Amino acid sequence: MALCGRAMAKDLNQRLATLGLSVGQWGALFSLSQNDGMTQTQLADALSVEQPSMASTLKRLEADGLIRRKPHPTDRRSSTIHLTARARKQLPSIVEQVHATNSHALKGLTRAEIGEFKRLLRVVISNASDPDPLLP
């Protein structure tokens, strides 16, 4: 499974590079498109990445004019992160590249096989997300 994830990430990175983006940046942009106004901590948690990595990703997105930060309404130590109009305009092109990667990876599978594969992935993700009682 790790090999599959790495191969798909490599493919998507190559496609997103044509737009000046990376897989990590795509994750942040997608999450914000679903829940604009998240904090850096919320975004890092949603993407299961460490705070320093998220800070670096956000710094780059901000420099590229794709996000802007606003003071948090109730927490002076924090800020909320928002997509800019430029990012919203670019999202369809980004999503197109994500779909191209998925289509490339799934070529040769029937519709039924793709459906079963997605069902099985949901089970694996759910299992992997639950704490393993055998781990300390």
pLDDT one digit per residue (tens) for the chain, 136 residues: 889 989 999 999 999 999 999 999 999 999 999 999 999 999 999 999 999 999 999 999 999 999 999 999 998 888 999 999 999 999 999 999 999 999 999 999 999 999 999 999 999 989 988 887 777 7
- Of residues 80, 79, 82, the one with CA closest to residue 65: 82
pTM metric for this prediction? 0.85
Helix H or strand E segment including 67: strand 67-71
Residue 15's contacts (CB-CB under 8 Å, 6 or more residues apart) are: 97, 100, 101
